[in-house]
């Protein structure tokens, strides 16, 4: 399902001269086996620029059920304008799929909508934006600049970055509004959560059973996270830590405020 979601994002956000715009996107999607109507939901990565190249930085589970799933795709994009200049962009896409034969089918796309940049942000936000050991994708960086991310999250990121280089996948925008498959509002929606997909450049999914991951989860709890989900449950108590299928490829940190 991740492969399908990644292919959709790359097809929508990559085109040669003369094939941009909504019409070109619909054609590319149709030719690649996707519903061309999805182009309208992918408008955040489609434009009339001369050409575009997209690169998926990572794909993460947003939620997994037996018959449906959410895959969060973090996308970088380079657009060539009519003036010959290249501008860099990117976003995070919440791609929804349902079980089908012969493979899962994409049924919806929900792009990140970070909101307006705030004229003033907190000291904790400024410190995170300036910290080269906290790697933020485009949508997450914009989230911080809106002032929508709680300082408890930002302070914890700064503390944990003293131990590891942190690759963040999502803060607020681009994550499902509700905990997938439930009616509960996600902590991400409230600006009270962060997902981390790699430590020191090594993906969580590639080192899920290592002591580093368990130690980091414990350190995150000590840094103030009341909810720490990942590929392992360090104490199996069900108090601060949890593990499930969705969190095999990242570490989720939730905060009370």
pTM: 0.95
pLDDT: is 234 or 174 the higher one?
174
For residue 116, being part of any structural domain is answered with no
Residue 15 lies in a domain: yes
- What confidence tens digit (pLDDT) does each residue in 180-218 have? 999 999 999 999 999 999 999 999 999 877 899 999 999
The CATH number of whichever domain residue 32 belongs to comes to 3.10.450
150 domain residue, yes or no:
yes
Give 111-126 pLDDT, tens digit per residue: 999 999 999 999 999 9
Residues 133, 104, single domain; the answer is: no
Does the pLDDT value for residue 231 go beyond 80?
yes
Asked whether residue 85 is assigned to any structural domain, the reply reads yes
Q: Are residues 22 and 96 in the same domain?
A: yes
Residue after which a domain boundary falls, among 55, 88, 111: 111
Q: Is 106 left (phi over 0), alpha (psi -120 to 50) or beta?
A: beta
**Cα–Cα distance, 8 to 166 (Å, whole number):** 27
In a shared domain, residues 72 and 99: yes
- Residue 79 shares a structural domain with residue 31: yes
Q: Tokens 């990572």 — which residue? A: 58
Classify residue 197: in a domain, yes or no. yes
Residue 117 lies in a domain: no
Asked whether residue 65 falls in the same domain as residue 10, the answer is yes
Considering the domain boundaries, does residue 118 fall inside one?
no
**Alpha helices, H only, the chain:** 2-13, 21-31, 123-130, 138-146, 151-161, 211-222
Domain that holds residue 225: 123-254
pLDDT confidence band for 55 (50 / 70 / 90)? very high
* Paired tokens of 172: 């607020």
Count structural domains, the chain. Answer: 2
């Amino acid at each position: 399902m991740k492969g399908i979601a990644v292919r959709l994002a790359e097809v929508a956000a990559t085109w040669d001269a003369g094939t941009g715009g909504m019409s070109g996107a619909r054609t590319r999607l149709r030719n690649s086996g996707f519903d061309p109507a999805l182009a309208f939901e992918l408008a955040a990565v489609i434009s009339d620029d001369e050409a575009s190249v997209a690169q998926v930085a990572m794909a993460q589970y947003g939620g997994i059920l037996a018959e449906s799933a959410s895959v969060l795709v973090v996308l970088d994009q380079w657009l060539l304008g009519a003036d010959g200049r290249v501008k860099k962009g990117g976003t995070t896409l919440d791609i929804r799929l349902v079980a089908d034969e012969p493979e899962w089918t994409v049924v919806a796309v929900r792009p990140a909508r970070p909101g307006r940049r705030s004229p003033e942000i907190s000291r904790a936000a400024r410190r995170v934006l300036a910290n080269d050991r906290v790697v933020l994708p485009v949508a997450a960086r914009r989230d911080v600049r809106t002032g929508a991310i709680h300082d408890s999250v930002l302070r914890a990121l700064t503390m944990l970055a003293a131990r590891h280089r942190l690759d963040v996948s999502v803060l607020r925008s681009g994550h499902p509004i509700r905990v997938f498959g439930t009616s509960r509002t996600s902590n991400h929606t409230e600006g009270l959560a962060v997902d981390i997909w790699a430590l020191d450049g090594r993906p969580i999914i590639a080192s899920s059973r290592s002591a580093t991951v368990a130690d980091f989860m414990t350190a995150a709890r000590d840094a103030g996270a009341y909810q720490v989900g990942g590929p392992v449950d360090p104490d199996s108590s069900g108090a601060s830590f949890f593990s499930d299928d969705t969190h095999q490829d990242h570490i989720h940190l939730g905060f009370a405020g």
